[in-house]
Amino acid sequence: MGQELFRLKAHEIRGAIRRGETTATEVTQSVLGRIGAVEGKVQAYTEIWGDYAQQRAADIDRRIKAGEDPGPLAGVPIGLKDNYCTTEGTTGCCSKILKGFRSPYNGTVVEKLLDAGAVFLGKLNMDEFAMGSSTENSSVQKTRNPWNLRCVPGGSSGGAAAGIAAHEAAVTMGSDTGGSIRQPAALCGCLGLKPTYGRVSRYGLVAFASSLDQIGPFTKDAEDMALIMGVIAGRDPRDSTSADIPVPDYSKALRDDIKGLRIGLPKECFTDALGAEMREKILAAVEVLKAQGAQVVEVSLPHTEYAIAVYYIICTAEASANLARFDGVRYGYRHPDAKSVEDMYRLSKSHGYGPEVQRRIMLGTYVLSSGYYDAYYLKAQKVRALIKKDFEDAFQSCDIIATPTTPTPAFEFGAKTDDPLEMYLSDIYTSSINLAGIPGMSIPCGLTASKLPAGLQLLGKPFDEETLIRVAYAYEKHSGWERADAPIT
């Protein structure tokens, strides 16, 4: 073929394999070769399943040769965030407390991807238990941004975003609790989608905050996003929170027609907190859409200023409950010096969890404690309802909402680690979307003067991922950005 196979997009790989222009084995070998060439610089993967991937690819090639249809993702190489339960490899959530843990089952999304013919490459680095915005909280390693190796890739799905940007996979899978797909996608210059809460099964995703978590993909373009969403979306009887709503044919959203589409710009997202350069990139991207016939209207999300506070009350409360299961009794890390049950709990947790996870567990336990529940947790849930109502009201006058994904481009390692509050503000434009449960997608919209990506966030009505994909597709066709590539070699 005319280019290196590892640079191909998922739909291009699928087409080339079906036409007999290449094989799943050749594609897999090319991507594994790319991983071997750049992984020492990027450090996106915590585990690389080279032998497994090649065996899987060879099996797909045999099935194709026998005239079988191995699925819509036949031969597409995919990396998985380290909080996906898989029988292959380990599932450690990049935490010492789960180091070496082997899941006895595959999660629903993992099964769907396998059934569709995907080739899994391994597990991707993340902030411990998905708690962080820079992947600096991983107990394993620090993933570097392929656009500038001195900068973070974002978090918590930093390995997934960096892996796509460096062409170490055709697609990667992450999770988003307050921006953990969209924020790193923006910082690494790829597409990242957080579907509507309930659109994709969470069965087999290690829980952080159960009312906020959602599984979603990172892709190189909108066509790949439609392809992957068509595989992973849908009702799952094993997940009581997954919605029994028909899954559309997302490929039908791939049309270059947004004439008359109403795009809402929330005035609360374009304050002085947003730097001039990022504002310029976002508004320029909106102008591209406007030139294609979209209408721009101003909307208001009046409770936006409370989103970060509400998010960090609710997510820490749910984390406090969810992470109680990692006690050193049945599985996971147990401190060797424990002489009593009390010692086991105290030592195992204090040595097994990193500082950020400990901080959030303590915050969550505090807001749920007697005397503080009403003042913090209950009040936060009431404000959450107001935030959700803001979006419902805004969508009365627009079809989608456009905001920045992040207030700044990627920052250097260590720039925010000493100030947790400053780090939490990295999610200022993303956390309210999880609170409201609506879909959100970050799409790349150019480079800053320092040659770092900027991200435009598109927000949709519940279960209307189709419109987000359609707008992303139209933007790609007219922006020229999709041809940009990270400079790492």
- Note whether 488 and 146 are within 8 A (CB): yes
Please state whether 219 falls in left (phi above 0), alpha (psi between -120 and 50) or beta: beta
The side-by-side arrangement of strands in the sheet containing 171-176 is 45-48, 119-124, 77-81, 171-176, 214-219, 191-194, 440-447, 453-460, 400-404, 262-266, 295-299
- Which residues have C-beta within 8 Å of that of residue 96, sequence separation ≥ 6? 139, 333, 351, 352, 353, 354
Please name the amino acid found at residue 114: L
Residue 393's contacts (CB-CB under 8 Å, 6 or more residues apart) are none
Catalytic residue among 139, 156, 175, 432: 156
Structure tokens belonging to residue 416: 């925010």
CA–CA separation, 213 vs 80, rounded Å?
16
Q: Is position 180 annotated as part of the catalytic site?
A: yes
- Comparing CA positions, the residue from 476, 413, 432, 391 lying closest to residue 179 is 432
* SS3 call for 185: helix
CA distances from 273 to 147, 189, 301, 332, 372 (A): 24, 22, 16, 42, 31
The single residue of 180, 320, 426, 432 carrying the catalytic annotation is 180
From 9, 81, 220, 461, the catalytic residue: 81
CB 429 within 8 A of CB 181: no
> From start to end of 202-269, where are the E strands?
214-219, 262-266
Structure tokens at 447: 């480079």
Beta bridge partners of 412: 151
Sequence-separated (6 or more) residues with CB below 8 Å from residue 75: 13, 14, 17, 23, 24, 27, 28, 57, 60, 61, 117, 119
Active site residue 156: yes
Q: Are 265 and 402 in contact (CB under 8 A)?
A: yes
| Backbone φ/ψ region at 373: left (φ over 0), alpha (ψ -120 to 50), beta | alpha
Do β-strands 191-194 and 440-447 pair in parallel, antiparallel, or remain unpaired?
Answer: antiparallel
Please, which residues bridge with residue 108 across strands?
none
Question: What are the catalytic residues?
Answer: 81, 156, 180
